[in-house]
Amino acid sequence: MITRRTAFAALAGASGLLPAGLRAQDAYPSRSVTMLVGFAPGGGTDIIARLLAPSLQAELGQAVAVDNRAGASGTLAAAAVARARPDGYTLLMGTVSTQAVVAPLMRNPPYDQNNDFTPIGLAGTVPLAAVVPARAPYQDLKGLIEFARQNPGKLNYASSGIATQQHLAAEMLCQAAGIQMTHVPYRGTGPVLNDLMAGTLDLAIDTLPTHLPHLRSGSTRALAVTTAQRVQALPDIPTVAESGFPGFEITVWYMMLGPAGLPPQVTQRCVQALNKALQEPANRSRLEEAGFLPGGGSAADAADLVRREAARYGALVQRAGIRVD
């Protein structure tokens, strides 16, 4: 599909109107680059963006600033990038939620997830962990589910917005277990921590990197992880599948993207910078220690992932009856 943005880029390129930085790969970037994050500081998206930013900056030779614009399940930042000039100076650290799930559920979608972005590369993937306050009375996922069955709607669970992976994971668990819990959306996963540690929030099925330091310190407890296999960072914590729900699996991925119509030479320059950052041993060690599985690959790989995940989660949210008003 030819969009207004891709048509503009093609016309400008053909007529020589693009800035010199877009006509020569080695001239990009000639000034600082801003990477938008759609959630509050402290969440998984913010963590991976800030872990990679120094290496991206070193590779690109210009400052890479991370800009948090939280709200609307991450779509405020994504929409800002979709509207940005396609010159490579405004990028997005998107998630599976912002790029494959949320926008089509909105009454007035702020962007077209298939046509308003240029996927650059997969930054990383993380499992979700079912996390509860340290003093929660249940010791495992089965105990929580039994409590929820006996007290329909009494337990509340957090997410970083409607139709985010945290929301979907909790809804999947409710459907599988036949229980009811109350959804409490936040502006990002970072603020969830305070309420969990204070005991005013009952559950968060949330990105592991956000919670791992607090799980290790004993400030909160993990009941299960959502991957098919146990994770290296929490080897003693069972999977949801092991806890009585075979086949249960849901993860979060993070992806670097630009606006649609990003010139191929700029896209490739960003792909190279991202892959180099992800291949650095120190970065891989830091990412793995924080609970991420480092990504990588081509722009085509990233675009294919978006298409596949959009189809998968589109079917899931339809079954769950989730809508974003």
44 and 210 Cβ atoms separated by less than 8 Å:
yes
Least confident residue range of 8-17, 223-232, 245-254, 264-273: 8-17
pLDDT of residue 8: 46
Summarised one tens digit per residue, pLDDT across range 50-92 is 999 999 999 999 999 999 999 998 999 999 999 999 999 999 9
Q: Say if 136 falls within a structural domain.
A: yes
CATH of residue 147's domain is 3.40.190.10
Summarised one tens digit per residue, pLDDT across range 19-61 is 444 444 458 999 999 999 999 998 899 999 999 999 999 999 9
* Same domain (yes/no): 90, 132: no
Average pLDDT, the chain: 90
Q: What is the mean pLDDT of residues 192-212?
A: 94
From 225, 242, 274, the end of a domain falls on 225
pLDDT of residue 174: 94
Residue whose tokens read 């010159």: 87
Q: What is the mean pLDDT of residues 247-259?
A: 95
pLDDT of residue 5: 53
Query: What tokens were used for 39?
Result: 């959630």
Task: Return the percentage of the chain with pLDDT > 70, whole number.
Answer: 92
* Same domain (yes/no): 109, 39: yes
Q: What gap in Å lies between CA 206 and CA 158, rounded to an integer? A: 8
Q: What is the mean pLDDT of residues 148-174?
A: 93
* Same domain (yes/no): 205, 295: no
Which residues form the domain of 133?
A: 127-225
Band of residue 325 on the pLDDT scale cut at 50, 70, 90: low
* Same domain (yes/no): 101, 210: no
Band of residue 99 on the pLDDT scale cut at 50, 70, 90: very high
What global pTM score does this model have?
0.81
pLDDT of residue 149: 96
Q: Say if 236 falls within a structural domain.
A: no
- Does the pLDDT value for residue 261 go beyond 50? yes
* Same domain (yes/no): 150, 78: no
* Same domain (yes/no): 86, 153: no
Q: What is the DSSP string of 98-109?
A: HHHTSGGGBSS-
Summarised one tens digit per residue, pLDDT across range 213-232 is 999 999 999 999 999 999 98
Q: Say if 295 falls within a structural domain.
A: yes
Band of residue 189 on the pLDDT scale cut at 50, 70, 90: confident
pLDDT of residue 160: 86
Summarised one tens digit per residue, pLDDT across range 264-282 is 999 999 999 999 999 999 9
pLDDT of residue 21: 41
Q: Say if 230 falls within a structural domain.
A: no
Within the chain, residue ranges assigned H as helices are 4-15, 20-23, 44-60, 75-83, 96-100, 141-150, 165-177, 190-198, 208-217, 264-279, 281-289, 299-320
Q: Say if 102 falls within a structural domain.
A: yes
Band of residue 107 on the pLDDT scale cut at 50, 70, 90: confident
Q: Say if 245 falls within a structural domain.
A: no
CATH of residue 292's domain is 3.40.190.150
pLDDT of residue 22: 43
Q: Tell me how many domains the chain contains.
A: 2
Band of residue 15 on the pLDDT scale cut at 50, 70, 90: very low
The size of the chain, in residues, is: 325
Q: What gap in Å lies between CA 266 and CA 24, rounded to an integer? A: 9
Summarised one tens digit per residue, pLDDT across range 289-323 is 888 999 999 999 999 999 999 988 887 777 777 77
From 208, 225, 242, the end of a domain falls on 225
Q: What is the mean pLDDT of residues 239-250?
A: 95
Q: What gap in Å lies between CA 7 and CA 238, rounded to an integer? A: 50
CA dihedral 79, 84, 86, 88 (to 10 degrees): -90
Q: What gap in Å lies between CA 49 and CA 69, rounded to an integer? A: 13
Q: What is the mean pLDDT of residues 150-175?
A: 92
